[in-house]
Amino acid sequence: MRSPNFWRGYYPDGTVALSSGLVFPARVQVYSAQNRSYQLAATITDPNFIKALVDVSTVSIAHKEFGHFDVPVKDMSAAIEALHNCEGTYLKLWGIDAAAVWALQARPVPVQPLQELFTTFDYPGTGLAGNMGADIIAKLEVGEDGAVRSCTWLGPKEHPQFGEAICKGLKERARFQAAHDASGRPVSAPYVTVAKFRIGGY
């Protein structure tokens, strides 16, 4: 196993390779963490990825800029089933048809990380004045052209200024790679994100 030469950044043309030999295109983001360490996040739009994790022993996240990082994994069967059930529960809670989402060939994917669309100027004035923060769940409807057609913030409801701020910013600035149905045609589809408002950042 080789540790990559990390630095913070967004790498839209990365890959995630499985020990089974399957390789999936991925958007990789590297975050700095404490103690001079780093965290990686890989976004994979292929709905077959989760099922492909069965009987896999190693997952390798890679990009030409930083090499690869290999992660050993144990039996994923129980975890995959739990993830599937958990997603179904939350989709229902958010008013989304889980069967329709699972039938998509590809789901909506942000063209760039959503947090990069926001600055301190988007922080609600009342939130700054009151030294308040909030975690906002926002449900978007992404059109077949990748534009945000609608945005509904699902909670929490105590501080509506945060929900209004996130939806305003996402509708104005966010762009997506559109979802595709089972036949490969671009279609409108939901996308859910969580915005973390903190004094000093999104």
Q: What is the pLDDT of residues 83-100, one digit of tens each?
A: 889 999 999 999 999 999
Q: Which amino acid is at 33?
A: A
Amino acid 7: pLDDT: 66
pLDDT tens string 153-166: 987 777 788 889 99
CA distance 59 to 73: 7
Q: 187 and 110 share a domain?
A: yes
Q: What is the pLDDT of residue 36?
A: 67
pLDDT of residue 137: 92
Whole-model pTM: value is: 0.74
List, for residues 102-135, the tens digit of each pLDDT value. 999 989 989 888 888 888 888 888 776 677 778 8
- 83 assigned to some structural domain: no
The whole-angstrom separation of Cα 9 and Cα 195 is 19
Instruction: Tell me the β-bridge partners of 106.
Output: 180
pLDDT above 90: residue 170? yes
**Domain count within the chain:** 2
Domain finish residue from 59, 75, 91: 75
Domain that holds residue 16: 9-75
Rounded Cα distance between 161 and 70, Å, is: 42
Local structure of residue 178 (DSSP, 8 states): P
**Residue 99 has what pLDDT?**
96
Do 69 and 112 reside in the same domain of the chain?
Answer: no
| 62 and 20 inside one domain | yes
What is the residue whose two structure tokens read 């958010």? 94
* pLDDT tens figures, 24-81: 999 898 876 566 677 888 888 787 888 888 889 999 999 988 888 898 988 888 888 9
Both 65 and 114 in one domain: the answer is no
One domain, residues 111 and 68: no
Does residue 110 sit in the same domain as residue 180? yes
Token output for 193: 């994100």
Given pLDDT bands bounded at 50, 70 and 90, which one contains residue 2? very low
Is 99 inside a domain boundary?
no
Considering the domain boundaries, does residue 45 fall inside one? yes
pLDDT of residue 67: 87
